[in-house]
Amino acid sequence: MRIGYVVEGFRDAAFLEGLRARWCPKAEMLEGGSRGSTGLAIGRESANLCAELRFRRVDFVVILRDANREDWRDVLKRESEMVPGDVRQVTLYGVADRNIECWLCADLDFAASQLGIDSEQLRSAEDPKRVLDEALGGRQSGEQDSKIAALVQAAPLRNWIGASRSFERFYEDARDLAQRSGQCQIPNERARG
């Protein structure tokens, strides 16, 4: 199976790599578009990016972006409508509450233990991005990508689902797409420990 993806940054790509390893370990991931794209550019270019990925014969397209200061539901509605109709049924569109770091820290105690920091640092932060930058070194590296992917792969997603409505929606949509396609088995994470 081939999964194409479009993300805003390297942490988003590492996040998806963790989910791929957890849910579809045999899948091949193909990046579409360029890293560092803003949400605005992803929305504007979604038709072209999806077409490019479908040309590369991907089975699914995952578009993951940050809501930034907007309501994630508004971003999801507006931008998922920009996905071309012929690929909409094989597209998974996720919008993280503020940024991907909010999903990574949806279970503060787990994230802190994985990052080797005090959970109070995350609890007291208005935005966990700065704390993650400090804990991970801020700049992209293979080591940082591996840490993020490992965190996602081991995370108690049941807690993320309960803590973040936007992650819950992403999970439900991913599970629905996987069940409809029959190509990937996403477990009931609500029932897992």
Could you give the C-alpha distances from 68 to 1, 4, 91, 102, 115, in angstroms and in order? 31, 23, 22, 11, 23
Judged against a pLDDT cut of 60, whether residue 148 lies above it is answered with yes
Q: How confident is the model at residue 41 (pLDDT cuts 50, 70, 90)?
A: low
Domain membership flag for residue 116: no
- The residue range of the domain holding 31 is 2-104+145-181
Judged against a pLDDT cut of 50, whether residue 108 lies above it is answered with yes
Judged against a pLDDT cut of 80, whether residue 193 lies above it is answered with no
CATH number, domain with residue 157: 3.40.50
Domain membership flag for residue 57: yes
Domain membership flag for residue 69: yes
Domain membership flag for residue 16: yes
Q: pLDDT (tens digit, 9 = 90+) per residue, 60-75?
A: 999 999 999 999 999 9
Domain membership flag for residue 138: no
pLDDT of res. 187:
93
Domain count, the chain: 1
Domain membership flag for residue 123: no
Phi-psi region of 159 (alpha: psi -120 to 50; beta: other; left: phi over 0): alpha
Mean pLDDT of all residues belonging to the chain: 88
Q: How confident is the model at residue 51 (pLDDT cuts 50, 70, 90)?
A: confident
Nearest by Cα to 103 from 22, 188, 191, 165: 165
pLDDT of res. 79:
83
Alpha carbon distance 81, 120 (integer Å):
39
Contact 56, 30 (CB under 8 A): yes
Judged against a pLDDT cut of 80, whether residue 38 lies above it is answered with no
Domain membership flag for residue 120: no
Domain membership flag for residue 137: no
pLDDT of res. 83:
81
pLDDT of res. 170:
97
Region 124-130: what's the mean pLDDT? 88
Please count the residues of the chain: 193
- Collect all residues with Cβ–Cβ distance below 8 Å to 192 and sequence separation of at least 6: 156, 157, 158
Between these two residues, 152 and 84, which has the higher pLDDT value? 152
Between these two residues, 174 and 181, which has the higher pLDDT value? 174
Q: Which residue has the tokens 């070194």?
A: 137
Q: What is the pTM (predicted TM-score) of this model?
A: 0.90
Q: pLDDT (tens digit, 9 = 90+) per residue, 10-29?
A: 899 999 999 999 999 999 99
CB atoms within 10 A of CB 180: 10
Judged against a pLDDT cut of 80, whether residue 192 lies above it is answered with no
Between these two residues, 158 and 85, which has the higher pLDDT value? 158
- H or E, element range at 65: strand 60-66
